[in-house]
Amino acid sequence: MFEAKRLHPAAIIFNLIKTIREFLFAIILGFITFRDESLLYFGLILAGLVIIFIVSSVLTWYRYTYRIEDDELRIEYGVFIRKKRYISKNRIQSIDLTSGIIHRIFKLTKVQIETAGSGTSAEASLSAVKLAEGEALRTELKTSASRQAAEGEFPEEIAEELNPSSTISFKRLFIAGTTSGSIGVIMALAAAGFSELEQFIPESFYDETLEWVIGLGIIIVMAMAIFILLLLWLLGIAGTMIKYGKFTITKTENELFITRGLLEKKQSTIPLKRIQAVGIQESVIRQPLGYVTVFAEIAGGSMDKGEDFSSILFPIMKRDEVELFLETFLPDYAGIQHELTPLPRRARKFYILRSSVLFLLIVAVVATFLPSFVWVPILLLMVGGIFLGWLRHRDGGFNVEGQRLTIRHRVFSRNTIMLYHKRIQAFEKKQHKVQRLQRLASMTLSIVGTMGTGTHFTIKDLEETHTDELSDWYSRRN
């Protein structure tokens, strides 16, 4: 791989899409501004911009080359100003392959290379290379010759034992979709989209539609609402199955290798040394059914991976299967502590009060716009706030076992976090006046998170003596 290579010509399409996306807001704003009188001029300007975008995309592709030489990935790019980037093999933390719909049509993949110093974007990104070429790059950059020789000495059966793998079943994938709770996200996105499109809808059409809906009668309106909710629920199921379809996790000597996605296939590498903590998440819907999600907090990385892709170790499994999963893939975190030191009873009132504040704000909004029906949300939301506060208090707790700390807390989902002393970057104790009178205190633990920023875990209203004991444990004071 010493000869400089260009990306696949399909990279021109990706460069063009990226450029248009960056200017999309300006294009929409220009259309709204000039749509009445100067639409012709706007069309001419837009045509000129498209030509410039196409020429720029072609030149960007032509001037972008990469090669591997002297244990380095060497990239040269730039149309007018040439830039050179050399990335040593020793600095590479992970190499991820992503294949979107267009990639899969041409049998291509996108290669993203991350180092410990990656910020908001990957250290290097090859937007379009042949799939075989991408896999060869990953092998060349991440696997040493000695390791290849060692792996070649083992029979296939032994290699499978050394590299255990687990794949999600269709049944579990369907359960993950039905219990994902994504219907709320879809409804929020739909509401936001409608609020943006509302200004383009003629007022007369809007009023006529509203009158037509009101004239249908309460039964038909309720049936339509149920149908829409069912449709959104099915869309949520489809979205989850597309996102996590064919989810497979494989362990190698020093890494976890994750593959997932039906339409957009993603392959991610997680070095074991970058795992800062392992967590078990139980949503309000999944907890009664006994299902959990296993995730990890990863140090470094970049925003290019998208929504929490690197942290999901397995999207859904039975609670009693987690121990075997950890023994297989992360034996250092096996031995889950179920009996934790609970929060004191006198802290319960603070949890209920804090949980009720959010619901009271929702009641205030409803009272402003629908004052005649305000008693309904008051009753429901107050009960919901009290119940959520009770759950948060009941589920909070901690356990110290040697160098490992287990903490459990809840916002809406219950999270059990397991981390080691050496991974904790900071310990903070907080105590306001009321807590001091009640002999309570809050603690916050900080670890290194995505992009090198801090990830924080907070448990409020612990016994003050317990907080001091945890502080002594962290500071290694006897």
If asked whether residues 337 and 356 sit together in one domain, one would say: no
* Pairwise pLDDT comparison (359 vs 102), residue with the higher score: 102
Asked if the structure places residue 161 within a domain, the reply is no
pLDDT over 80 at 220, yes or no: no
Tell me how far apart the alpha carbons of residues 251 and 164 are, in angstroms, rounded to a whole number: 6
Q: Across 270-274, 303-307, 344-348, which has the greatest mean pLDDT?
A: 344-348
Which pTM value belongs to this model? 0.77
pLDDT, position 436: 93
Asked if the structure places residue 153 within a domain, the reply is no
Asked if the structure places residue 383 within a domain, the reply is yes
Tell me how far apart the alpha carbons of residues 88 and 440 are, in angstroms, rounded to a whole number: 50
pLDDT, position 179: 86
pLDDT over 50 at 473, yes or no: yes
Predicted confidence band of residue 124 (pLDDT cuts 50, 70, 90): confident
Tell me how far apart the alpha carbons of residues 472 and 478 are, in angstroms, rounded to a whole number: 7
Domains: count for the chain: 4
Predicted confidence band of residue 51 (pLDDT cuts 50, 70, 90): very high
Tell me how far apart the alpha carbons of residues 466 and 133 are, in angstroms, rounded to a whole number: 55
If asked whether residues 133 and 46 sit together in one domain, one would say: yes
Task: From 213, 244, 275, give the residue that closes a domain.
Answer: 244
Task: From 393, 410, 429, give the residue that closes a domain.
Answer: 393
Asked if the structure places residue 152 within a domain, the reply is no
* Pairwise pLDDT comparison (330 vs 265), residue with the higher score: 330
Tell me how far apart the alpha carbons of residues 305 and 307 are, in angstroms, rounded to a whole number: 7
Residues 6+ apart with CB under 8 A from 277: 296, 297, 417, 418, 419, 423, 447, 455
240-264 mean pLDDT: 89
Asked if the structure places residue 147 within a domain, the reply is no
Q: Which two tokens stand for residue 59?
A: 């030149």
If asked whether residues 286 and 219 sit together in one domain, one would say: no
pLDDT, position 186: 55
Span 422-463, pLDDT tens digits: 999 999 999 999 999 999 999 999 998 765 567 899 999 999
Tell me how far apart the alpha carbons of residues 448 and 423 are, in angstroms, rounded to a whole number: 8
If asked whether residues 304 and 329 sit together in one domain, one would say: yes
If asked whether residues 379 and 465 sit together in one domain, one would say: no
Domain of residue 336 covers 248-343+396-475
| CATH number where 102 lies | 2.30.29
Predicted confidence band of residue 149 (pLDDT cuts 50, 70, 90): very low
Task: From 218, 244, 270, give the residue that closes a domain.
Answer: 244
Asked if the structure places residue 151 within a domain, the reply is no
Sheet of 426-430, strand order? 426-430, 440-448, 454-463
Nearest to 164 by CA among 318, 328, 332: 328
Span of 43-57, 84-98, 220-234, 413-427 with lowest mean pLDDT: 220-234
If asked whether residues 237 and 260 sit together in one domain, one would say: no
Asked if the structure places residue 430 within a domain, the reply is yes
pLDDT over 50 at 154, yes or no: no
Span 367-423, pLDDT tens digits: 666 565 555 666 677 787 888 899 999 999 999 999 999 999 998 899 999 999 999
Asked if the structure places residue 155 within a domain, the reply is no
Span of 28-32, 182-186, 318-322 with lowest mean pLDDT: 182-186
Q: How distant, in Å, are the alpha carbons of 15, 57, 60, 123, 360 from that of 81? A: 18, 15, 11, 19, 57
Tell me how far apart the alpha carbons of residues 406 and 417 are, in angstroms, rounded to a whole number: 6
If asked whether residues 293 and 383 sit together in one domain, one would say: no
Question: In angstroms, how far is the first alpha carbon of the chain from the final one?
Answer: 57
If asked whether residues 400 and 287 sit together in one domain, one would say: yes
Instruction: Let me know how many helices (H) and strands (E) the chain has, helices first.
Output: 15, 21
Chain position carrying tokens 């356990």: 399
If asked whether residues 99 and 57 sit together in one domain, one would say: yes
pLDDT over 50 at 241, yes or no: yes
How buried is 131 (Cβ within 10 angstroms: 0-12 exposed, 13-18 middle, 19+ buried)?
middle
pLDDT, position 455: 87
If asked whether residues 261 and 403 sit together in one domain, one would say: yes
Tell me how far apart the alpha carbons of residues 292 and 325 are, in angstroms, rounded to a whole number: 12
If asked whether residues 189 and 291 sit together in one domain, one would say: no
Backbone φ and ψ of 79, nearest 5°: -80, -55
151-165 mean pLDDT: 56
* Pairwise pLDDT comparison (299 vs 156), residue with the higher score: 299
DSSP 138-196: HHHHH--HHHHHHHHTS-HHHHHHHS-EEE--HHHHHHHHHTS-HHHHHHHHHHHHHHH
If asked whether residues 48 and 196 sit together in one domain, one would say: no
Q: Across 115-124, 146-155, 332-341, which has the greatest mean pLDDT?
A: 332-341
Predicted confidence band of residue 223 (pLDDT cuts 50, 70, 90): confident
